[in-house]
Chain A
Amino acid sequence: MIARRGLRFLRERWRVVVRLAVWSLLEAGQTFLTGYAPARALDDGFLAGRPGTGLAWLGVAGLGVLFGAFGTARVHTAVAELVEPLRDGLVRRVVARGVREGDPAALSGLTQQTEIARDAFAGLVMVSRSFVFTAAGALIGLFSLAPLLLLVVGLPLVAGLVLFLATLRPLARRQEAFLAADEALAERYGAVCPGLRDITAAGAEERVAADTGRHIETERRAATSLARWGVLRVAALTIGGELPIVLLLVAAPWLLGQGVTPGALVGALSYVTQSLLPALRNLVHGLGTSGSRLVVVLRRLLREDGPAFATPTGQPRRPADTPPGIPALTLKSVTFAYGPAAAPVVDGLDLELPPGAHLAVVGPSGIGKSTLTALVAGVLEPGHGVIRVCGYPVPGSEAAARRVLVPQEAYVHSGTLAENLGLLRPDPVPEAELRAAAEAVGLLPLLDALGGPAATVDPAALSAGERQLIALTRAWLSYAPLVLLDEATCHLDPSAEERAERAFAARPGGTLVVVAHRISSARRAGRVLVMDGRTTAYGTHDELLERSALYRDLVGGWSPVPSQPALALGDPDGVDAVAGPRLAVDGRHVVAHGPVGQVQATGDLRDGGSLGGQG
């Protein structure tokens, strides 16, 4: 597969290949002179009593060396035109897949594997091209000195090459086995070293040592086997590069008898020792190592994409208004599991939200609330059942244009604030509109502190809460009527959270689904969905207090904790802002939420109507 792609890659760049060949020819012209010039220097010069002629021939060889050096420099430029496009292509691929799949391995793919591919490919091109042209130069030189010499040198050279090519595949397999073993070992250490505390605590030192020892042993075996197979390289080198020397000597009396001059004989020996042998050595050592490294790395970088779901891509656009009477969100007996044998996370869920509704989803951590939002967003596909957003089937581009998902980990990239806020809009957003949105969600103080929409933001310099405010304002600005907040306010303090949630609830025509981080979010919502494994309960806050024991537990003892998206995130104490007792006080202050859309949030919503659309 990779060989075919490689050929295509070279075919598409035949001009560069031709240029490379031309410069290599210049470089190899010198090879031609390495034997030919000394031969003529001897025959016509030093042995003929004309040292001046001899020196002149050597001077020609010297000039050849300089030309060759020029060729070498140009060869590098031509190689760059092959190698850099390959690297560009790999970087594009790695970045595209990394962004699409969110795979953290993309970073090492970018900084390490593409560089290995770059170096290995350059090495491969250099070595194989150098051998081809050097061998051609030397063989033409031999032929022009005396055709018979070609026979004596050429036959063992071909034999050596054939032996080398025959062993290339098994050698490459061993090289690959070694690389794989080395990587497995590094991966193992990558798990063991950060886990030393846990290993010690579990008393599993011996087991881990034994297991790691097996990896070490596998790597050692692979390295040893590789070294043993190296003998075949030596054999190929000896037959192709050293045997001609002996043959030239053995055949010397016969060759001299056939009219080959002493100079030609010396020239032939020069060709073999100074051109063919080094070129063959580089080929034998370089092709085996670079080739296998390249194949291993390319196989990894070019691997077929995983079973990605058909998430709609393309430019953001403004969806057409939904006719009245169509629900904003419908789920019909939706079932989802992470594998055919796995227990379902969502099992036969039915749900219907009218436009303008405000739903809070609550439940213990890890129960599948995020899975539900991912299903609605079309990022996951249900195994069974139908989901519709504003009447359009999910997944689908019409549905995708009508919903926006704000996850817990806010995405802010280095760039201007306006770029960040306008990510979901087709055209740049007017500043007045940006400011109105910032005011509604509560971003305005930060927007001003940073220096306005044109200011550049550095995500690392922002707090998690500030990043969430930016992500929320971005969602607020989107044309999508359905907003899914998946713990998107977990780093905000309760009052900031309330302001943001109310702003979304008040987006005219906007429908809001909040995965609740604090129970106060559920109190603000008109409808609550309680998830508890396979069973769910759906109703208003008061109804659920009556009906659902789990909901009573949640309301009674809710001390929410941000569920970290990954283990590595820093969270010094893991204690959250709202304590149970204070919530209990809140509990008595029941907010009468009818249709949430009617509750006007603080702030200037003049532009809200045009922004929110009509759902």
Chain B
Amino acid sequence: MTTQPAARTTMFGLLGPAPGRCVALGLVSTAAVGAGLLLPAALGRALDLLLTAAPANRWVAYCAALVLLLALLDAAETVLGGTLDARTTSWLRERLTGHVLAVGPRAAARFGPGDLVARLVGNAAQAGTAPTARAALPAALASPVGGLVALALIDPWLAAVLLAGAPALALLLRAFARDTRECVAQYQREQGRIAAALAEALDGHRTIRAAGAAERESARILRPLPALSRAGHRMWRVQGRAAGQSVAVAPLLQLGVVAVAGLLLARHRVTVGEMLAASRYAVLAGGVGMLVGQLAGLARARAATGRLTEVLAEPARVHGDRRLPPGPGRLELRGVTARRGDRPVLDGVDLVVPGGTTLAVVGRSGAGKSLLAALAGRLADPDAGEVLLDGVPLRELTHDELRGAVRHAFERPALLGGTLEEEIGLGPTPASPDRVRAAARTAHADDFVNRLPAGYATLCADAPRSGGEAQRLGLARAFAHDSRLLVLDDALSSLDTVTEAQITASLLGSGTHGTRLLIAHRAATAARADAVAWLDGGRVRAVGAHAKLWQLREYRAVFAEGEEP
């Protein structure tokens, strides 16, 4: 994954979208570390005074004040840290969501929808912790260093003991990471076997259900469960062994420091209070592991930020400021070239669809039909050439003017998770309930929607739908707003021929307005259009009536292609 260092800083500065809070958090946590470092010394001093029966009230008061201060700083750190994370994450998500929507389908094509979701959800949350991780860094560094310095101030020998023992600590922490990896992999393998068998059974659940075989099939899927359990137990055993080793190191180190302090105490080189302080400082100085964790967290946050920056680096679509003149919806492609990678899919295509007519686009798979449909409605921009609607280049139109003029329907419409009413009415403004129902009737979706438990208020997740039903919802969505140009990208392919014929009849029949562009696979569909454009090798090979073209053997072969199973 390549990241652009130059772009990374443009997303937000080092301190994030709320630099004031970030600095405040840094100050608060550093102050907390400072107070934490002062407390053992004050405690030791107070204890010494108390043990010698000297007046100690002042030092006791200092201790109390430090404890109170620590509590306040801790509280401030909790609130500041939590809210800063939340704020940064939501800021990132707002920005990315807007950008991804502005980039449009290309964002999903470039990253894949699943990966995009992972970036917006997981990576944004990780990247959102970058400012707090940075703010906490000075404190995380100050704590062990301060502990060590304090030990040295009490007596250099104490610091020396700690430094001598530190390498053992590092070694054991590494052994821990190495040990567990193997059995985690084993565990995941067994889990994967169960998941694979479950996935197969989910695909065949109608068979299983009808056969009443759910219990037997569950038992079969669960066959690897004992192995999973064994792997799980092994994971805990290995982890326990590693934990047993690592939990011993820090206390032993600390006991070593206390022992040396005790010997020095016996020689009156340190006091009882200093010994108490030393044992506390040994703990603080041993907190290097925390610093390592902090750095790893920051590295994760930076990597996540990099992945978000890649998304932001995709250029957003820019709209013009022109509006459409009155017109019948004449579509014109002038010298349009579009590439996928280095390969030109459309190569200098010139095509005119007179206003109010229907053009069918046919061609072998891979001929660029869907891309042509996307260009006609500016779901993609050509690499060269121009697409015009009633004489105005699409890219010069405002967003609302463009989307008010062109509607699309697709082979596999994506539903967004709302109610069916919302799905059909999707547009710059929601379509009226009457309009939604009228559109559904035209698309032959009204019947099956009415058979759903909550009719048009059914959530699309609760609507069992076949490919044909989804296509009819997609068609209804295209019909639910007025348009000059209607682009049907293979949007009838999953319908049975009777339904398809009825829909095309009402779509192309007299009394309808606007221009239609149909991407067609079936000869019958092409036959109903006013003209057919035959795409071949990225170019328009011929434009003409279906009946005339049908006399060409190669033209007929276009339709035969799909008929091989």
The answer to whether A binds B is: yes
CA distance A219 to B481 in the complex (A): 33
Asked whether B51 lies within 8 Å of A234 as measured between CB atoms, the reply is: no
| Residues 13-55 of B contacting A (Cβ, < 8 Å) | 43, 46-47, 50-51, 53
> Is A379 on the interface with B (CB-CB < 8 A)?
yes
10 sampled A-B residue pairs with Cβ under 8 A: A46-B265, A102-B209, A201-B408, A202-B407, A203-B399, A235-B75, A379-B210, A411-B203, A557-B497, A564-B466
- The docked-state distance in angstroms from the alpha carbon of A74 to that of B93 is 44
Chain A min CB distance to B248 (Å): 4
- Which of A220, A368, A566 is in CB contact (< 8 Å) with B90? A220
Give the residues in chain A near B403, CB-CB below 8 Å. 201-203
B501→A557 contact, CB < 8 A: yes
B396-411 to A contact mask, C-beta < 8 Å, 1/0: 0001101110111011
Number of A-B contacts (CB under 8 A): 521
Task: List, in ascending order, chain B residues with CB within 8 A of A252's CB.
Answer: 47, 50, 56, 60
A-side contacts of B168, CB under 8 Å? none
Tell me if A594 counts as interface (CB < 8 A to partner B): no
B290 CB, nearest partner CB in chain A, Å: 13
Judge whether A559 and B522 touch: CB under 8 Å: yes
B259-A198 in contact (CB<8A): no
Total count of chain B residues near the partner, CB < 8 A? 163
CA distance A197 to B402 in the complex (A): 15
- Choose one: A197, A313, A571; the contact of B410 (CB below 8 Å): A197
B266 & A230 in contact (Cβ 8 Å cutoff): no
> A573 vs B411: C-alpha distance in the bound complex, in angstroms?
9
- With both beta carbons as reference points, the residue of chain A lying nearest to B192 in the complex is identified as A111
Q: Which residues of A contact B225 (CB under 8 A)?
A: 88, 91-92
**B249-286 Cβ-contact flags toward A at 8 Å (1 or 0):** 00110110011001101100000100110011001000
A245 touches B468 (CB 8 A): no
A-side contacts of B414, CB under 8 Å? 191, 194-195, 197-198
Option from B47, B220, B426, B466 in Cβ contact (under 8 Å) with A249: B47
Given the known interface contacts A87-B232, A553-B498, A575-B563, the answer about A423 and B60 at a Cβ–Cβ threshold of 8 Å is no
Task: Decide if A73 touches B243 in the complex (CB within 8 Å).
Answer: yes
Quick one: which of B98, B237, B523 contacts A209, CB cutoff 8 A?
B98
Q: Does B299 contact A (CB under 8 A)?
A: no
Q: Known contacts being A196-B107, A313-B212, A414-B197, is A216 close to B202, with CB within 8 Å?
A: no
Kindly state whether residue A508 has any CB partner on chain B within 8 Å.
no
With contacts A196-B101, A204-B428, A410-B204 known, is A220 near B86, CB below 8 A?
yes
Contact between A80 and B232, CB atoms less than 8 A apart = yes
Contacts of B427 in A (CB 8 A): 202-204
For the complex of A and B, list the 5 residue pairs with the smallest distance between their C-beta atoms, beginning with the closest: A227-B82, A411-B204, A203-B403, A76-B240, A339-B453
Q: Which residues of A lie under 8 Å from residue B191 when comparing CB positions?
A: 110-111
A404 to B208, CA, bound (A): 11
Q: How far is the CB of A475 from chain B (nearest CB, A)?
A: 9
Contact (Cβ within 8 A) B426 A204:
yes
Chain A interface residue number, banded: 35 or more
Within 8 A of A (CB), among B459-512: 465-470, 472, 474, 477, 481, 490, 493-499, 501
> Are B195 and A111 in contact, CB atoms less than 8 angstroms apart?
yes
Write out the residue numbers on chain B whose beta carbons fall within 8 Å of the beta carbon of A83.
232, 236
Chain B's closest residue to A217 (CB) is: B90
Residues of A within 8 A of B428 (CB): 202-204, 206-207
Q: B98 — which chain A residues lie within 8 A by C-beta?
A: 209
Q: Is A223 an interface residue (CB 8 A)?
A: yes
Task: Determine if B447 and A533 form an interchain contact, defined as CB atoms under 8 angstroms apart.
Answer: yes
Question: Are A55 and B263 CB-contacts (below 8 A) given A273-B280, A364-B498?
Answer: yes
Q: Is B205 an interface residue (CB 8 A)?
A: yes
User: Who on chain B is nearest to A267 by CB?
Assistant: B276
Asked if A325 is at the interface (CB within 8 A of a chain B CB), the reply is no
User: Chain A interface: which of B66-74, B144-152, B335-343?
Assistant: B66-74
Assess whether B413 is in contact with A270, with CB atoms less than 8 Å apart. Answer: no
Closest-by-CB residue of B relative to A534 is B447
Which of B74, B237, B416 has the most chain A CB atoms closer than 10 A to its own CB? B416
A49 interface hit (Cβ, 8 Å): yes
Indicate whether B97 reaches chain A with its CB closer than 8 angstroms.
Answer: yes
The smallest beta-carbon distance between B320 and chain A, in angstroms, is 15
Q: Knowing A269-B43, A575-B521, A577-B565, say if A413 contacts B204 (CB, 8 Å).
A: yes
Encode contact with B along A553-585: 1 for CB under 8 Å, 0 otherwise: 110011111111111010111111111100000
> Which secondary structure characterizes the binding site on chain B?
helix
Stretch at the interface among A145-153, A289-297, A342-350, A600-608: A342-350
Contact of A55 with B197 in the complex, beta carbons under 8 Å: no
Q: How many Å from the CB of B57 to the closest CB on chain A?
A: 9
Is B407 touching A413 in the complex (CB atoms < 8 A)?
no
Is B207 a contact of A410 with CB atoms below 8 Å? yes
| Chain B, Cβ-Cβ closest to A252 | B50
Residues of A within 8 A of B434 (CB): none
Q: Answer whether A409 and B108 are a contact pair too, CB < 8 Å, given A65-B248, A338-B452.
A: no
Residue A104 interfacial (CB < 8 Å): yes
State whether the Cβ of B548 lies closer than 8 Å to any Cβ in chain A: no
Neighbour of B240 across the interface among A73, A194, A250, CB < 8 A: A73
- With A84-B229, A365-B468 already in contact, the answer to whether A227 and B86 are too (CB < 8 A) is yes
Q: Which residue of B lies closest to A269 (CB)?
A: B276
Contacts of B417 in A (CB 8 A): 187-188, 191
Do A559 and B497 touch (CB < 8 A)? yes
Contact A220–B262 (Cβ < 8 Å): no
Q: Is the CB of A51 within 8 A of B266?
A: yes
Q: How far is the CA of A273 from the CA of B100 in the complex (A)?
A: 51
Add 8 more A-B contacts to A266-B276, A404-B210 (CB < 8 A).
Answer: A49-B266, A95-B194, A100-B205, A196-B105, A202-B403, A242-B67, A342-B450, A564-B494
Q: Taking the nearest CB of chain B, how far is it from the CB of A38, in angstroms? A: 6
Residues of B within 8 A of A563 (CB): 466-468, 494
User: Are B210 and A377 closer than 8 Å at their CB atoms?
Assistant: yes
Contact with A along B413-440 (1 / 0, CB 8 A): 1111100000000111010000000000
B82: A residues at CB distance < 8 A: 223-224, 226-228, 230
A51-67 CB mask vs B (1 if < 8 Å, else 0) is 10011001001100110
The listed residue (A91, A231, A465, A558) touching B75 by CB distance below 8 A is A231
A446 CB within 8 Å of chain B:
no
Which segment, of B114-122, B155-163, B301-309, B535-543, faces chain A? B114-122
A259 within 8 A of B: no
- The answer to whether the Cβ of A430 comes within 8 Å of any Cβ in the partner chain is no
CA distance A65 to B259 in the complex (A): 15
Chain B residues within 8 Å of A341, by CB: 453-455
Which residues of A have CB within 8 Å of B105? 196-197, 200
Contact of B496 among A216, A262, A561, A571 (CB under 8 A): A561
How long is the Cα–Cα vector from A228 to B81 in the complex, in angstroms? Answer: 10
Tell me whether A537 is interfacial, beta carbon within 8 Å.
no
List the B side residues contacting A452 at CB < 8 Å: none
A242 to B237, CA, bound (A): 35
The 8 Å CB contact of B197, one of A79, A314, A337, A413, is: A413
Bound complex: CA of A463 vs CA of B460, how far in Å? 30
A592 interface contact, C-beta 8 A: no
B328 to chain A, nearest CB (A): 21
> Smallest Cβ distance from A266 to chain B, in angstroms?
5
Known contacts A216-B94, A223-B86, A410-B207; A51/B60 CB under 8 A: no
Which residues of chain B are within 8 angstroms of A128 by Cβ–Cβ distance?
none
B237 touches A80 (CB 8 A): yes
Q: Which residues of A contact B116 (CB under 8 A)?
A: 189, 193
**Hey, which chain A residues are within 8 Å of B174, CB to CB?**
none
